[in-house]
Amino acid sequence: MNLSMVLEHLYIVLASVLLTILIGLPLGILAYMKKSVRSVILWTADILQTIPALALLGILMVFLGAGKPTVIIGLILYSLLPVVHNTYLGLNNIDPAVKEVATGMGMSRWYRLIHVEIPIAFPVIFTGIRIATVTAVGVAVFGTFVGGGGLGSIIYQGIRIENMRMILFGTLSLMIMAVLFDSVMAAIEKRLNRHESTTSNTSNKSSEVEPGA
């Protein structure tokens, strides 16, 4: 029973994070490329983050009913901010000289975006995904109040019947899950940053012109 709750919680988190990436990444790119909608996208992501998680799930339950889809949609909305913002910031903070060189080589805007800008910005984008993932692990606990199940059910039931063993099991499982996700993704992020630094240094060296050349 307890193991099934852990797997259920893991499923909710992974499903919501995957969908958050699929939605948040294009929104961040759109905010970067279209100035006319930038403020609307970034402002909406900010506003969604300020709504208390339990209140957001309650509002969604009124329209969508109770169940896992409601929890997953709530987690998507709540986790959009770091993915959208980091995608926008990662692309917007690329050295303008890199963009000029790519344009000078005859690359179209979309070709430059896909083959040059996104790879350079990916370490920053991945940081946003990491934040969204760890956030989803904790916020998914509230899913029990809208019929979503997961580890929140164990913790809530433990509180209701004053069973410390159930409370500790649910809490420790959440902590272990969050730490594992964070540690693995931090290691990947560190490797991405190291690779980006190496690539940048190599690019700078190759662009140097020797005296007298």
More confident residue, 206 or 112: 112
CATH architecture of 2-202: Orthogonal Bundle (1.10)
The type of residue at 48 is: L
What string of DSSP letters covers 46-95?
Answer: HHHHHS-HHHHHHHHHHHH-SSHHHHHHHHHHHHHHHHHHHHHHHHHTS-
28-49 pLDDT, tens digit per residue, is: 999 999 999 999 999 999 999 8
Q: What is the pLDDT of residues 135-164, one digit of tens each?
A: 999 999 998 889 888 888 899 889 998 899
Q: pLDDT digits over 52-89, tens only?
A: 999 999 999 999 998 899 999 999 999 999 999 999 99
Cβ of 159: how many Cβ atoms within 10 Å? 13
Q: Which SS3 state, helix, strand or coil, does residue 161 take?
A: coil
Please report the pLDDT score of residue 78 as a whole number.
92
Arithmetic mean of pLDDT, 184-195: 86
Q: What pLDDT, on the 0 to 100 scale, is given for residue 147? A: 86
d(CA 96, CA 104): 12
**Cα distance between residue 198 and residue 29, in whole Å:** 25
Entry pTM: 0.86
